[in-house]
Amino acid sequence: MTTGQDDPLRKLIDCIFVSHQDEAMDCESCGCQLECFAEKVSAGANLHDLWPDVEAHLACCPDCAEEFQALLCILRAERSGQLDTSAGR
C-alpha cells in the first residue's frame, strides 16, 4: 500500500477538502480565468505566483486542467510560429 503524498487516495481526499473550502476555486470561476492565465503562463509567468487557487483547482479537476493545457499548447504554438493563424483570414 502506498502512503504519503503520492498516494492517489490521499490526493483525492486532499482535493475534496480543498474544493469544499469557502473560498475554493470552482470550475465556473476557473473557466472564466483560464484564457488570461494561459496567456500569462505561455509568456513565461508561473501559475502558482499568479493565482495558487487556480493551480490547486487544476490539480484536482481533470476537465479544467485539460482545457488549460489545450489553451497553453495553442498559445505556445502561436508564439513559436508553429500555428498558421492566416487560415481564418
User: Could you tell me the residue range of the domain that residue 37 belongs to?
Assistant: 10-80
44: left (phi over 0), alpha (psi -120 to 50) or beta: left
Residue 89 lies inside a defined structural domain of this protein = no
The average confidence (pLDDT) of the chain is: 79
pTM of the model: 0.67
Residue 88 lies inside a defined structural domain of this protein = no
Name the amino acid, one letter, at 68. F
pLDDT digits (tens, 9 = 90+) for 2-51: 455 567 777 767 766 665 555 567 888 888 888 888 999 999 998 888 88
**Number of domains making up the chain:** 1
Question: What pLDDT score does 60 carry?
Answer: 86
Residue 44 lies inside a defined structural domain of this protein = yes
